[in-house]
Amino acid sequence: MDLGTEGKLQLVQKHIRAFPDFPKKGILFRDICPILKSPAALTAVTDLFEEHVRNHYQQVDLIIGLDARGFLFGPLLAQRLGVGFVLVRKKGKLPGTTVCVAYDLEYGTAEVEIQEDAVAPGQKVLIIDDLLATGGTLYAACELMKKQQAEVLGCMVVIQLKDLNGADRLKPHGVFSLLQY
């Protein structure tokens, strides 16, 4: 049974759990784990991302997934599209020569990296993660792609927390989100 776009979005939303005061008081954590447990919900996420990409981009060379939850959705989408998948990891997790970018967190700094030969100059890439909050990690991934001279077509997330204005930080890159809170 084909649910259609709205039905798929409803199915995905039904599989998002909210946990108040996690990881600290005042935070409402949006948990995507139930999506992963449901083959139908996971298929709906992949279908919705695929539909967006096919409708908005003529050429995509690579899907770039962020550590760690971008690794859950990115390879499925890349396989559907018949393109490669590249990991953006926390510093120190990849073998070989890497390219690194530091970025600010509310409590300090962090670094992400890719393998130096993972993305070639001029390749057209989409960056994927589970959640957009303040945009720090997605911004760092965009900066990594800039260092590699790749063309960032846009960013995609399952959930966007609109009040945190992360999409503003990513401009001029657009953000496609399945759900907004």
Angle at which helix 70-81 crosses helix 39-56, to 10 degrees, equals 60
**Euclidean distance between CA atoms 13 and 23, whole angstroms:** 21
By C-alpha distance, which of 143, 149, 176 is closest to 73?
A: 176
CATH of 4-180 given 2.40.160.40, 1.10.10.10, 3.40.50.300, 3.40.50.2020: 3.40.50.2020
Arithmetic mean of pLDDT, 33-43:
98
Q: What distances in angstroms separate CA 152 from CA 3, 5, 125, one per listed residue?
A: 31, 25, 5
6 included as an active-site residue? no
In the predicted model, what is the mean pLDDT of the chain?
96
State the catalytic residue, choosing from 106, 111, 113, 169.
106
Residues in Cβ contact with 68 at an 8 Å cutoff, skipping those fewer than 6 apart: none
Give kind and range of the element (H or E) at residue 35: helix 33-37
Would you kindly state where each structural domain of the chain is located, as residue ranges?
Answer: 4-180
State the catalytic residue, choosing from 69, 80, 89, 116.
69
DSSP helix/strand/coil, 81? helix
CB 99 within 8 A of CB 148: yes
**Euclidean distance between CA atoms 41 and 142, whole angstroms:** 28
69 included as an active-site residue? yes
For 6-29, what is each residue's pLDDT tens digit? Answer: 999 999 999 999 999 999 999 999
The model carries a pTM of: 0.96
For 139-163, what is each residue's pLDDT tens digit? Answer: 999 999 999 999 999 999 999 999 9
Arithmetic mean of pLDDT, 106-110:
81
